[in-house]
Chains A and B, each alone.
Chain A
Amino acid sequence: EAGVAQSPRYKIIEKRQSVAFWCNPISGHATLYWYQQILGQGPKLLIQFQNNGVVDDSQLPKDRFSAERLKGVDSTLKIQPAKLEDSAVYLCASSPSRVGEKLFFGSGTQLSVL
């Protein structure tokens, strides 16, 4: 079974630029999550989708971050404009159930904002 796919693996941008990350969850997983992991910390939830609807985006900085999940499969996370403090690993995860316990994570996209 293929895992959660994310791209790109690494991205370096300058502050105030835009960036987008892509995620393809495990086939059949209805629930998709985006997490932000700052160096030395645990992952922090940004947004949760159930199919193509948003379940929780309470911790998403909506002035600069946006996410969508078209057709309930792939998802993109965008940052516009990026700030220095956005430097982190962005992890996508999917789950076969709505209950957020058995998450399968991708390898993440490491973002450096200079």
Chain B
Amino acid sequence: GQQLNQSPQSMFIQEGEDVSMNCTSSSIFNTWLWYKQDPGEGPVLLIALYKAGELTSNGRLTAQFGITRKDSFLNISASIPSDVGIYFCAGLSGANNLFFGTGTRLTVIP
């Protein structure tokens, strides 16, 4: 299957700080997605990106679809304790094939 690498693997930040994470692939994707997974739950969709270069926001979250179509970035501004969780990027190849990244574990220290 496709390999999507996320960095960093984990982050510890103070409440109120901004966060940046990214996702890279050796393959091109038509759609990039960002999901968040809380402990003991399934992933929840945060943002979907459909065009190379696209920048999309959802509240304090901003994500970008890389121009090469092989990467994507997620930024969280002014972090709060409930931002804690694992963030997964996912790339959609064709109509059906959704591949998930390795995840970035975020810890927010109050």
Contacts and interface: CB of A to CB of B under 8 A. Distances in A.
Contacts of B21: none
Query: Chain B at the A interface: mostly helix, strand, loop or mixed?
Result: strand
B50 to A, nearest CB: 9
Given A42-B102, A42-B103, A100 B96 contact: yes
Contact of A103 (B40, B41, B98): B98
Interface stretch (A14-22, A69-77, A91-99): A91-99
A100 B98 contact: yes
B88 A42 contact: yes
Given A44-B100, A93-B42, A105-B44, A100 B95 contact: yes
B31 A101 contact: yes
Interface residues of A, number: 24
Interface residues of B, number: 23
Given A56-B97, A100-B97, A105 B42 contact: yes
A42 B98 contact: no
Contacts of A101: 31, 33, 48, 92, 98
A56 B98 CA distance: 11
A102 interface: yes
A45 B91 CA distance: 13
B78 interface: no
A102 to B, nearest CB: 6
Contacts of B44: 105
B100 A43 contact: yes
Interface in A75-110: 91, 93, 98-108
Interface of B: 1, 4, 31, 33, 40-45, 48, 88, 90, 92, 95-103
